Chains A and B, each alone.
Chain A
Amino acid sequence: MSGATREQRIGEIVQRTRAKPARFRDEHITMAHGAGGKASQSLIEGLLLPALRNDALAALGDAGAVAVDGVRLALTTDSFVVTPIRFPGGSIGELAVNGTVNDLAVSGARPLALTLSLVLEEGLPADELRAEIDAIALAAAAAGVQVIAGDTKVVERGHADRMYACTTGVGVLDPRAELSTSALCPGDRILVSGAIGEHGMAIMLARDEFALEADIRSDTRSLWPAVDALLDAAGADVHCMRDATRGGVASALNELARASGVAALVREREVPVAPAVAGACELLGIDPLYVANEGKLVAFVAPARAQAALDALRAVAGCERAADIGEVLAEPPGMVLVDTAFGGRRVMDLLAGDPLPRIC
């Protein structure tokens, strides 16, 4: 038995080490720092937070809140550097609108307006730019927001992968919403708004590094209708929401479990994944729970209203496959556990960087 106790002690030491705020000790920025995993976490907690110190930022929500004359506003910003700029299911322009709209939405704010900054690469064909501007206009109209200010810069050939976009969004915090990253409660049900892993796999396939063909399309869309439905059905019983972008559902759950000091338990069998996404992930040795989404949220809802919330979500166009995928536990704090489809249980940690395909 002493073996088991010693193992437990090591586990506790590891947990304590992980629970400390991440330090930023790297000498160079690598791609891992942008992947939404541990490297990103070290950059945010170890460099940005200490330097920019304030309560709003420290909450590490998808949007920051400010109050102006009693009106609670949410502000958020996001940059979009995806390559290729057009891919099945969408383009960089759509991401630029929906990504920021969604950060506002999952923070409980009705999106109002966006600003748009474009960095264009010298030599970008005008038709491509026109196509993106049209996409932005369409997406903004669909999301019910206006682009009210902007900026354009041009950089030399080779410096912007055709184009980069940055959007800042403002929204008004909805009175029905009482959301916080530290509000997860043991017993809360974890809802996901649809099948996962589509955007990330669509991009991976579009990059053609792996020569895979599949009918996988980005899921980019505005999440406000889903949020609206959830708040309507469950109001303040929705404790937190997050859009599961880079790093996927796994990263979102890890971040929130850490912020609230609770554990999340996922039932793998309940997680909706489209067959083609599952097939592509199997081929490459990637777990769909880590793959980026651009039109999916996770929501933590008090158990009494969880079924009503799920029913309301399923009635929203595009959320028909919404599911209850697990629950919040009190222990072990900051960890995400998975009850595997096979019946065993395992930990689901943050990845160090991007999920990389493996051969082994």
Chain B
Amino acid sequence: MCLAIPGRVVEVVDDADQLAKVDVAGVRRTVNLALLDGDPHALVGSWVLIHVGFALSQIDEREALATLELLQEMGEDYEQQLRELRESVAE
């Protein structure tokens, strides 16, 4: 629970109702930003999590990068171990 997907806020379409167009890989939908802090205009260009037509949360790009870096380090260690294994077998 449940289906929510990251999208980029492209433009505000209704100030009063806090509606904005959000883009997911070229698909656009009007999304309600009322659950997020701050002026919708300030959110243009940022990434938000969309669920049933509402933005639930703003995506923290730094955290995303940090998570990926952690995983990539693990990945590099693993590749290194595989290489060592292959080389030791080859000898």
A contact set with B: CB distance below 8 Å: 210-216, 275-276, 278-280, 282-283, 285, 358-360
Q: CB-nearest residue of chain A relative to B24?
A: A279
Known: A359-B2, A359-B51. A283 touches B29 (CB 8 A): yes
Which partner residue on chain B sits nearest A357 by CB separation?
B3
Contacts of B26 in A (CB 8 A): 214-215, 275-276, 279
B52 CB–A CB distance under 8 Å = yes
Cβ of B54 to closest chain A Cβ, rounded Å: 11
A216 contact set on B, CB distance < 8 A:
27
In the bound complex, CA of A275 to CA of B26 (Å)? 7
Within the complex, the shortest CB–CB distance from A359 to chain B, in Å, comes to: 5
Partner of A212, one of B3, B28, B51, B52: B28
Proximity string of chain B (19-41) to chain A, C-beta cutoff 8 Å, 1 when within and 0 when not: 00000111111100000000000
Residues of A within 8 A of B2 (CB): 359-360
The answer to whether A358 touches B3 (Cβ under 8 A) is yes
Contacts A216-B27, A276-B25, A283-B5 known; list 7 others, CB within 8 Å: A212-B29, A214-B28, A279-B26, A280-B24, A283-B29, A360-B2, A360-B3
Closest chain B residue, CB of each to CB of A274:
B26
CB distance from B79 to the nearest CB of A (A): 15
- Asked if A279 meets B3 with Cβ closer than 8 Å, knowing A359-B51, A359-B52, the reply is no
- Could you tell me the distance between the alpha carbons of A184 and B68 in the complex, rounded to whole angstroms? 42
CB distance from B11 to the nearest CB of A (A): 12
Can you list 14 A-B pairs, Cβ within 8 angstroms, ordered by A?
A211-B29, A212-B27, A212-B28, A212-B29, A213-B27, A213-B29, A215-B26, A275-B25, A276-B27, A282-B24, A283-B24, A283-B27, A285-B3, A359-B2
Residues of A within 8 A of B30 (CB): 211
Contacts of B1 in A (CB 8 A): 360
B25 near A279: Cβ-Cβ < 8 Å: yes
We find that the number of chain B residues with CB closer than 8 angstroms to chain A is 14
| Distance between B45 CB and nearest chain A CB, rounded to angstroms | 18
**CB closest chain-A residue, reference B25:** A279
Which chain B residue lies CB-closest to A276? B26
- Inter-chain contacts of B55 with A (CB < 8 A): none
Q: List the B side residues contacting A282 at CB < 8 Å.
A: 5, 24-25
Cα–Cα, bound, A195→B3 (Å): 24
A154 to B26, CA, bound (A): 41
Q: Kindly state the separation between the CA atoms of A285 and B2 in the bound complex, as whole angstroms.
A: 10
* Most A Cβ at <10 Å: residue of B2, B24, B50: B24
Q: Which residue of A lies closest to B2 (CB)?
A: A360
From residue A236, how far is it (CB to closest CB) to chain B in Å?
Answer: 41
Per the bound structure, the CA–CA distance linking A279 and B5 in Å amounts to: 9
- Judge whether B28 and A213 touch: CB under 8 Å: yes
Chain B's closest residue to A205 (CB) is: B27
9 tightest Cβ-Cβ pairs between the two chains A and B: A279-B25, A214-B27, A279-B27, A276-B26, A360-B2, A213-B28, A279-B24, A285-B3, A280-B27
CA distance A165 to B5 in the complex (A): 38
* Neighbouring A residues of B51 by C-beta, 8 Å: 359
Point out the residues of chain B lying under 8 angstroms from A275, CB to CB.
25-26
A contact residues around B52 at 8 Å (CB) = 359
Residue of B at shortest CB range from A213?
B28
**What CA separation (Å) do A280 and B24 show in the bound complex?**
8
CB proximity of B57 to chain A, nearest CB, Å: 16
A206 to chain B, nearest CB (A): 14
Roughly how many angstroms separate A283 CA and B2 CA in the complex, as a whole number?
Answer: 12
Which interface residue of B28, B30, B51, B52 has the most chain A CB atoms within 10 A?
Answer: B28
